[in-house]
């Protein structure tokens, strides 16, 4: 009997836990010297929505029986005040309890990496299973399937963007945790967990609302796979060959369209999401009962995000644009910038509906480019999710160029900010130039990664056609 060729999987262990513990220790050491680093005041790290200093201001107002949104300092969720507010109270020595805040951020990063690792393992298993189901064992027998879950988790833990977000005392690690929690829950079939993560992530920063589409695809179709029509096979009459959510049948050797979308988990997801939304709104209403109610919260949080009232510098492009635009055209361009995100949702969903996890990365990258108050914590999240597809994107172009671009922008941004604000030898155009370059590199990254994924699908399609011949 001939031994059937198998796809070789790279079983080399990367020592995930060893490197994870090392990253935790490294974060704690940096947190101890956080005053010298002064990252919490950097515009690339903290934004008006994620700054822990603003949260401390809101909690101080709340303790004085005032609205936490008085004074236009705090614009986050009132639930964060109840959870993180006590950690910002000063100690007897007059110093904030930075270590407690650091422990929360470090714990959030560690849990996020574990969830990314688990999601990556599921994607690798699905990737190998799909190749075998398509009968490509022989063609891929010499290819090593890299442990993308371990690699992505370590990239998230050791990414400088993730580290400075953790040490910079902001809420970005917590927001990223709930986004990853939603992705993990949907990929693992844990519908209540997926709904909880999506609701909380959307409540904290609004933009994760767009992730509802890839979450629905994950629950309805399953994990990422080549185009589903490739799984159609000519089999004998009456024979069934299920592959994940695809049921294969044929009559008189004529292949039929067999793509089946499972509506049941999607309906259950919406039921759980409704429960979590009502629960969150009820808690917020109780918390804001004496300070204007839910309408005050919506106006000061989501309204603040959509109207871009705070024009303090950040790594985005909206602050400079709306500082220069005439007030007469402000509302028009607000609509243009925000609708830009919505315009891209439907075409990408139609083209990449068979790869929902990859669609999560694309949506997060686009939101990071066009959101009102971006930070490096947003880039840390989508860059880690991109690594989950290291096997499919092996032939992606301009990788070294993009790597050098991200490094260059990361180094130039604080230099230009220093020249503008502190030394007075530059102006706002210096800093905005780095923001424009950063946006351009993100655009190139999205375009090239989507192109590489589509080329990989075309390669699979050609191999399937060759195998039939």
| pLDDT digit string, tens, across residues 45-56 | 888 888 888 888
Q: What pLDDT does 67 receive? A: 84
- Compute mean pLDDT per 10 residues along the chain, 469 residues long, and list them: 43 72 90 76 87 86 84 85 80 54 87 93 84 67 71 92 88 93 92 94 92 92 78 41 37 41 90 94 88 86 89 88 86 88 89 91 92 91 92 86 91 88 81 92 93 88 69
Which helix (DSSP H) or strand (DSSP E) does residue 250 occupy? strand 250-251
Q: What pLDDT does 8 receive? A: 46
Looking at residue 87, the DSSP 8-state letter turns out to be G
Q: What pLDDT does 406 receive? A: 92
> What does the radius of gyration of the chain's CA atoms come to, in whole angstroms?
24
Each residue of 355-388: pLDDT tens digit? 999 999 999 999 999 899 999 999 999 999 999 9
Q: What pLDDT does 439 receive? A: 92
Instruction: Say if residue 1 is exposed, middle or buried (CB neighbours under 10 Å; 0-12, 13-18, 19+).
Output: exposed
Q: What pLDDT does 296 receive? A: 86
Q: Report the distance separating Cα 109 and Cα 376, nearest Å.
A: 14
Q: Of 115, 105, 86, give the one whose Cα is nearest residue 172.
A: 105
Q: Report the distance separating Cα 163 and Cα 105, nearest Å.
A: 10
Looking at residue 146, the DSSP 8-state letter turns out to be -
Q: What pLDDT does 360 receive? A: 94
Looking at residue 88, the DSSP 8-state letter turns out to be G
Q: What pLDDT does 21 receive? A: 92
Q: What pLDDT does 223 receive? A: 87
Q: Report the distance separating Cα 300 and Cα 322, nearest Å.
A: 19
**Residues near 137 by Cβ (< 8 Å), separated by ≥ 6?**
4, 5, 6, 7, 131
Beta bridge partners, 252, equal: none
CA distances from 174 to 98, 171, 177, 205, 377 (A): 16, 5, 5, 11, 10
Q: Report the distance separating Cα 46 and Cα 42, nearest Å.
A: 6
The torsion angles phi and psi of 246, rounded to 5 degrees, stand at -110, 125
Q: Are 165 and 377 in contact (CB under 8 A)?
A: yes
**Residues near 164 by Cβ (< 8 Å), separated by ≥ 6?**
39, 42, 44, 45, 376
Q: What pLDDT does 141 receive? A: 58
């Amino acid at each position: 009997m001939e031994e059937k060729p198998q796809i070789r999987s790279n079983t080399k262990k990367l020592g995930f836990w060893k490197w994870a513990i090392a990253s935790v220790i490294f974060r704690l050491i940096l947190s101890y010297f956080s005053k010298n680093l002064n990252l919490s005041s950097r515009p690339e790290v903290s934004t008006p929505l994620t700054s822990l200093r603003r949260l401390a201001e809101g909690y101080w107002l709340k303790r004085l029986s005032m609205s936490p949104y008085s004074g236009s300092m705090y614009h986050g969720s009132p639930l964060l005040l109840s959870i993180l507010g006590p950690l910002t109270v000063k100690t007897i020595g007059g110093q904030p309890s930075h270590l407690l805040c650091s422990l929360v951020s470090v714990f959030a990063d560690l849990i996020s990496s574990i969830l990314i690792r688990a999601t990556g393992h599921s994607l690798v298993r699905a990737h190998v299973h799909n190749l075998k189901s398509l009968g490509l064992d022989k063609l891929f027998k010499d290819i090593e399937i890299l442990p993308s879950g371990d690699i992505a988790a370590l990239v998230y833990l050791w990414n400088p963007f993730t580290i400075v977000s953790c040490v910079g005392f902001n809420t970005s690690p917590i927001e990223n945790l709930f986004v990853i929690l939603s992705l993990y829950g949907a990929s693992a079939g844990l519908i209540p967990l997926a709904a909880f993560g999506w609701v909380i992530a959307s409540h904290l920063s609004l933009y994760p609302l767009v992730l509802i589409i890839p979450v629905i695809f994950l629950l309805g179709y399953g994990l990422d796979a080549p185009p589903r029509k490739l799984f159609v096979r000519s089999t004998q009459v009456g024979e069934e060959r299920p592959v994940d959510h695809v049921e294969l049948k044929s009559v008189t050797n004529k292949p039929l369209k067999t793509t089946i979308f499972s509506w049941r988990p999607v309906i259950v997801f919406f039921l759980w999401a409704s429960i979590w939304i009502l629960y969150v709104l009820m808690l917020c209403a109780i918390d804001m009962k004496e300070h204007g109610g839910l309408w005050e919260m919506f106006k000061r949080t989501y309204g603040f995000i959509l109207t871009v009232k705070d024009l303090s510098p950040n790594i985005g492009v909206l602050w400079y644009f709306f500082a220069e635009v005439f007030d007469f055209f402000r509302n028009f361009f607000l609509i243009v910038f925000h609708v830009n995100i919505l315009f891209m949702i439907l075409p990408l969903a139609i083209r990449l509906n068979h790869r929902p996890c990859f669609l999560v990365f694309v949506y997060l990258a686009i939101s990071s480019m066009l959101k009102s108050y971006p930070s490096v914590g947003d880039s840390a999240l989508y860059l880690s999710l991109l690594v989950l597809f290291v096997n499919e994107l092996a032939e992606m172009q301009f990788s070294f160029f993009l790597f050098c671009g991200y490094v260059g922008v990361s180094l130039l941004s604080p230099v230009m900010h220093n020249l503008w604000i502190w030394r007075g030898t530059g102006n706002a155009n210096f800093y905005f130039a780095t923001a424009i370059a950063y946006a351009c590199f993100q655009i190139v990254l999205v375009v090239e990664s989507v192109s590489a994924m589509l080329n990989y699908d075309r390669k699979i399609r050609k191999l399937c056609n060759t195998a039939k011949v």
